[in-house]
A and B are shown apart, each in its own frame.
Chain A
């Protein structure tokens, strides 16, 4: 029972590089979202999706892109990484009563 799977778990980038954080869920949830976690700031919503083909911005969307071509997948793209994007990223999917989280992707931008 995989739940929400994120890859990679760790990544180091140089400023200006691009990359994609992958997220897949096998619970057939319509709703998926990306959060970033920084010390003392809790989790902040980056982007979310209410179904395939539908995405919207959260609290801190700048520097990130998303797409939702299938129900299962919700990748997060960093087009030009900046040191301020050093963080732990969590993907989550939701049913009507609970948010299920992946184990996180730790990103360091040098």
Chain B
């Protein structure tokens, strides 16, 4: 069985500061890993994905994440926060054969607040 743990249900940063959202996963098979963002009253939008190619993955809106197998982590970072980054972020995992079946296991979510 797969699982995802997001450390910190709420993260608060100042505008211009580093954003770091933590995600650890558990999987018995090589994983595919994803970060999604959800703005209020909207669906989820894919930020970036790791599918066993480069371990450092760049996504939209200046976000990136690094897959570290030894630490079973896939933390999301952005060098400089913008007010528009305020949203809820979800980390998700599937097995390498599961992606196309829509069978993702999601973490609990982290709400990012950005202060002026």
Residues of A participating in the B interface, judged by any CB pair closer than 8 Å: 4, 30-33, 35, 40-45, 48, 50, 58-59, 90, 92-99, 101-104
Say if the beta carbon of B116 comes within 8 Å of chain A. no
Supposing A97-B99, A101-B43, A101-B44 touch, asked if A40 and B104 sit within 8 A by C-beta, the answer is: no
Residues of B participating in the A interface, judged by any CB pair closer than 8 Å: 4, 9, 34, 36, 41-46, 49, 51, 90, 92, 99-109
Q: Determine if B106 and A92 form an interchain contact, defined as CB atoms under 8 angstroms apart.
A: no
Q: Determine if A94 and B42 form an interchain contact, defined as CB atoms under 8 angstroms apart.
A: no
| Chain A contact residues, majority secondary structure | strand
Q: Which residue of A lies closest to B100 (CB)?
A: A96
Our pick among A32, A48, A97, A103 for the contact of B43 (Cβ within 8 Å) is: A103
Residues of A within 8 Å of B102, CB to CB, are: 31-33, 45, 48, 92-94, 99
Q: Determine if B46 and A98 form an interchain contact, defined as CB atoms under 8 angstroms apart.
A: yes
